[in-house]
Amino acid sequence: MQNPLLNPADSAVTAGHGAAAAGPEQVGNVQDAWQGMWDKLDGWLDAAINMLPNALLALVVLMLAVFASRFLNRSIERLSGRFSSNQAVNKLMANIGSVILVILGLILALGIMDLNKALSSMLAGAGIAGLVIGLAFQDSMANLLAGVLMSLRNPYNIGDMIETNGITGIIQKITLRTLHVKTFQGQLVVIPNRMVVENPLTNYTVTGERRVDISCGVSYGDDLARAAEIAKQAIVKSAACNNEREVTVFYEGFGSSSVDFTVRFWLGHDCLEPSDYLQARHEAVVAIHRSFQENGITIPFPIRTLDFGIKGGEKIDESLHELFAEGGPSSRS
């Protein structure tokens, strides 16, 4: 608000003097700002010039690390091929080695440029990111490591017949995370590698031989030695039997209605397919049954013995005769 005691002319003169006084001050502030900016740029330029030799050396180190990583990649892939036939695993190991070498080169380059704070921040961030990723993909990483481990051990190959985790079938595909198995029913089962590592695995193909066990029983009234020999000769005549290995027959115990035994024989080297095993077992059962019929050996049905005596071992007709000789059931009432 204008002071009413002042003359308007005096007010105009005062305003003019204020504007004239403020002008040089504003110009001085602008000049100071420009001078400060140029000083900052000049300082940055001097720092860049002073850092230029270190920057060139750091660039050379990083480039050498990149070129060395390519050579290391090829070397690791060739070397790992001596221990593993899985190309995916060999490539993974080679890539891991080359990435580690590049990271070491980057850390050395940052150290040469005296960027220790940036290096510390980057390493801290990488550690936190690695922890988060590890927790988020824990199962996937476990399957990946299990796949690498199984590839180095090489316990199976594509086409092998295996049994693991209650699944039996033929291996169709092997990856770093999963194992693809085709069952005999025609289904394709994908098993995580972690489950394969943590549970027992049976490979029916790797040894190149397989044994067939058949359990049976004969009547208590038959000659056990003769029955064993007949069963053995029936198996020896089978086409699937490997006659280079001995056919064995062992009695195992006394069953409820029969004396139980097991016949064991080995398949030929050309009979290792799953269908060959099933066919060999089928032919062996048929051959044993036919031979027993031809030679009068009985494979008994389940039998239950009813014992009417107090001490046991008494026949029913003897017990009834004794009962009626004493006056019949009415005499006991």
What is the C-alpha separation between 302 and 255, in angstroms, rounded? 9
Task: For CA atoms 136, 139, 142, 148, give the dihedral sign.
Answer: negative
CATH of the domain at 193: 2.30.30.60
Closest CA to 305 of 253, 255, 257: 257
Handedness of CA 117, 118, 120, 125 (dihedral sign): positive
Phi then psi for residue 151, to 5 deg, are -70, -35
Same domain assignment for residues 255 and 190? no
Residue 310 lies in a domain: no
251, 216 Cβ separation under 8 angstroms? no
pLDDT for 332 = 47
Count of structural domains within the chain: 3
Collapsed DSSP state (helix, strand, coil) of residue 4: coil
pLDDT, tens digit only, all 333 positions of the chain: 444 444 544 444 444 444 444 456 666 676 767 767 776 776 667 666 666 777 788 888 888 888 888 888 888 878 877 776 666 667 777 777 888 888 888 888 877 777 766 667 777 777 777 777 666 666 667 777 777 777 767 788 888 888 998 898 988 988 878 889 999 888 999 998 888 888 888 888 888 788 899 999 999 989 999 999 999 999 988 777 777 888 999 999 998 889 999 999 998 777 767 778 888 899 999 999 999 999 999 998 887 766 666 655 666 666 667 667 765 555 444
| Residue 197 domain boundaries | 155-203
Determine, yes or no, domain membership for 145.
no
Instruction: Give the H/E segment covering residue 135.
Output: helix 116-136
Do 81 and 172 share a structural domain?
A: no
The span from the first CA to the last CA of the chain, in angstroms, equals 138
Distance CA 235, CA 245 (A): 12
Angle between helices 116-136 and 138-153 (to 10 degrees): 90
Q: Is residue 315 in some structural domain?
A: no
Q: What is the pLDDT of residue 2?
A: 45
Statement to judge: residues 49 and 120 lie in one domain: yes
Interior/surface letters 207-237, b for 16+ CB within 10 angstroms, e for the rest: eeebebebebbbbeebeeeebbebbbebbee
- What's residue 23's pLDDT? 55
**Residues 43, 122 within the same domain:** yes
- Residue 126 and residue 44 share a domain: yes
Residue 242 lies in a domain: yes
* CATH number, residue 119: 1.10.287
The domain boundary, picked from 86, 109, 136, lies at 136
Helix (H, G, I), strand (E, B) or coil at 163: strand
Is there a domain that residue 330 lies in?
Answer: no
Are 89 and 114 found together in one domain? Answer: yes
112 and 171 co-located in one domain = no
235 near 268, Cβ under 8 Å? no
- Shared domain for 123 and 193, answered yes or no, is no
What's the rounded Cα separation, in Å, for the pair 187 and 172? Answer: 11
List CB contacts of 269: < 8 A, sequence separation 6 or more: 208, 209, 242
